[in-house]
Each structure stands twice: as structure tokens, then as C-alpha cells.
Amino acid sequence: MIGYYIHHHGRGHLHRAIAISAHLHQPVTVLTSLDVPSQHPFAGVVTLPRDDAGPRRPDPTASGALHWAPHHDDGLAARMALVARWIEQTRPSAMVVDVSMEVATLARLLGVPVVVMALPGERTDAPHLTVHQLADHLIAAWPPGAYEPAWLRAHAYKTSYVGGISVFAHRPRPPAPGRGGPTRILVLGGSGGSAVDQATVDACAAALPEMDWRTLGLTGGPVSADPWPDVCAADVVVTHAGQGCIADVAAARRPAIVLAQRRPFGEQDATADTLARNGLAVVVREWPAHDAWPGLVDRALRLDPERWQSWQTEDAAVRAARAIEATADRLAPAGVP
């Protein structure tokens, strides 16, 4: 059995777990506070209580040694006890943690091999240095050579750069849309939060009627359980720089304008910078003025969408699964096949 901890901010961590777990030969139990869809590849789901619902406490970082451990928080205590009890009862061959310094540390203290999903950004604070050091293996969900920060190079011997992991990578990609009529612009939001809402896009659409503006996932706008057809049908996708969304756009091979959202440790800024440096997308730092859009869209349309192949979404989830299984096998108890 492999345990898989999924952080509850946004849905990207869950989608990544679904993509990877579909290729693991061992059964997978996920431990998360998220609502898991009824159709999933997991053998079991352990629903964890939230650890951020209590009153705000002083010093939840233990003087900078941890990321989140507020004093006297009932949810945190119940959450960690449930994880520890599951590990004691199940004795998993490995624990994948995406992401929590505290859960990774707990699992390793209980003697379980730990695979940590690395994230972009400036991860040089004490908790990140600790969790990357104690991890038995690290998985970076972007292609090798595209982005290799110094803090991750220090762990090169135990890091797998697997490429962008998209939950849609196995789906057939329809033919690219033909050019004719208004340029189809799809603006994607995310459940992790966005600086753009439906009203912002509506105002832009009113000012630029020569473009066909559509949205998915923005506050006040439509949502879809299956955005793949919409992404594939767009002439240009406007997206944040979350790892899952970028991988989805790469898998669809669509021209993109990327608006990095503010995230801890500069996560999305680092991804956006990588995309710009590699000529994969047009990158902006804030929602552009109405008169800037025609030029930005034209720049995006001039990009070669086949360059997205370099993001290596094909079989990225397979490579991640193989890295997890190799870690579990390498550290299996003597006599265990």
C-alpha cells in the first residue's frame, strides 16, 4: 500500500494524485481534507479534519521551524493523530506528500519512506530545507533543464524531473481549431484563488467585441467538470501559472497568455519566468489594459504551439509513478518482495 497525502489548497494537488495513482501498481490510499470525486483510481480515502478552522493563534510556525502547527488546534491534533494511526495500522511501503512539511516529517519519524513533490519558487526557508533533506526522493513536475533552482540542485541525486503532470494527458487531442471568425479566447481560473473574476473578463469582452471571450472557473462565472474540450477548442488560453493548469495547456498544445498569481514563495512567478525564458507562452504580471490585448493575443498566436512538447507532459505521470515505486522497492524491509 502507498499512502498519498494531498494538500487542500486548490484542486491541482488532487488532480496530480489522480494522474499519478492511475499508473501505480500498488494500491493507493489518499489522505486529504478535499472532497474526492466518486470516480477515482484510489483503493481508499481517509478524510482528514481541517487544521485551519480554529481561531488564529500566535506563532503557528514554531519560530520558523515549521510551516503550520498552531497551538491548541483541535483539527490539527485530530488530523495528525489520524495520519499516524493510519500509518501504524497500514504500514505503507511509501508515503507521497503533496505538500506538507509536517506530514512528511511525521511519516519519516514513523519510519516510512517519503516521496515529496517539489514545488517551484524560493524554497530556502528552514522548513523546506528540512523536508527536502529528509525526503527519500523528490519529484519535480516540470522537465529537466527547464528550471533547476540551486536549492533543488543540492538534491539532484534523489530528484526526478518528470515533466508537467496533466490529468488529461491520456485524452486524445482534437485537431487544432481552424482560424476563421472571432479569435476564441478562453480564460481559466482555479479553485486556489484568482485575481481575475468574471466581471473583469466581461468588461474586457465588451471593449473588444472582435474577440470571442469565454471563461471557466472564475468567480461569478461558469465551471466545468471536464474543461478539456474547451481548452483544446481555444485559439488562445489565458491562464494562471499553477502547475496543473500549465500542464493541461501544454498537453492541449494551445497558445497561451500566462498571468502569474501571487502565491507563497513566488511559486507561480518562478513557473511563469520559466515559460517566458523557454519561449512557451506570453507572460504578463497583471491583468492587461483593454488596448493591450490585441497585441498580446497576436504575440501568443505567433508562438509555435508544438514547442509545448518540451514540457514533456506525455508519460509524465508514468515517470512519477515509477519514481515512487522505485523508492518503495529500494527501501522495502529485507525479505519483502
**What 3 state SS string does 91-125 have?**
CCCEEEEECCHHHHHHHHHCCCCEEEEECCCCCCC
Cβ atoms within 10 Å of 209's Cβ, excluding its own = 9
User: Residues 252, 217: one domain?
Assistant: yes
Sign, CA dihedral 121-122-127-131, equals positive
Q: Cα(148)–Cα(156) distance, rounded to whole angstroms? A: 9
pLDDT digit string, tens, across residues 34-43:
999 999 999 9
pLDDT digit string, tens, across residues 134-165:
999 999 999 999 999 999 999 999 999 999 99
Mean local confidence (pLDDT), 88-95: 98
In a domain, 174, yes or no: no
In a domain, 335, yes or no: no
The pLDDT, as a whole number, for residue 9 is 84
In a domain, 29, yes or no: yes
Residue 37, classed as helix, strand or coil, is coil
User: Residues 233, 88: one domain?
Assistant: no
Write out the residue range of the structural domain in which residue 269 sits.
Answer: 183-310
User: Residues 101, 157: one domain?
Assistant: yes
Q: Which helix (H) or strand (E) holds 76?
A: helix 74-90
- End-to-end distance of the chain based on CA atoms, in angstroms? 13
User: Residues 14, 156: one domain?
Assistant: yes
pLDDT of 311 > 80? The answer is yes
**Could you give the percent of the chain with pLDDT greater than 90?**
89
pLDDT of 337 > 70? The answer is no
User: Residues 303, 320: one domain?
Assistant: no
Q: Cα(234)–Cα(177) distance, rounded to whole angstroms? A: 7
Q: Cα(30)–Cα(98) distance, rounded to whole angstroms? A: 11
Q: Cα(292)–Cα(280) distance, rounded to whole angstroms? A: 20
Lowest mean pLDDT among 55-59, 237-241, 277-281: 55-59
Q: Which helix (H) or strand (E) holds 139?
A: strand 137-140
User: Residues 241, 128: one domain?
Assistant: no
User: Residues 193, 153: one domain?
Assistant: no
In a domain, 204, yes or no: yes
CATH number of the domain where residue 273 is located? 3.40.50.2000
Mean local confidence (pLDDT), 41-63: 94
Cβ atoms within 10 Å of 56's Cβ, excluding its own = 7
In a domain, 171, yes or no: no
In Å, what is the CA distance from 247 to each residue of 39, 142, 194, 259, 296? 21, 9, 18, 15, 21
- Which residues lie across from 183 on neighbouring strands? 211
Mean local confidence (pLDDT), 70-90: 97
100-103's contacts with Cβ under 8 Å and 24+ in sequence apart are 100/5, 100/7, 100/67, 100/68, 101/66, 101/67, 101/127, 101/128, 101/130, 101/131, 102/66, 102/67, 102/68, 102/69, 103/5, 103/31
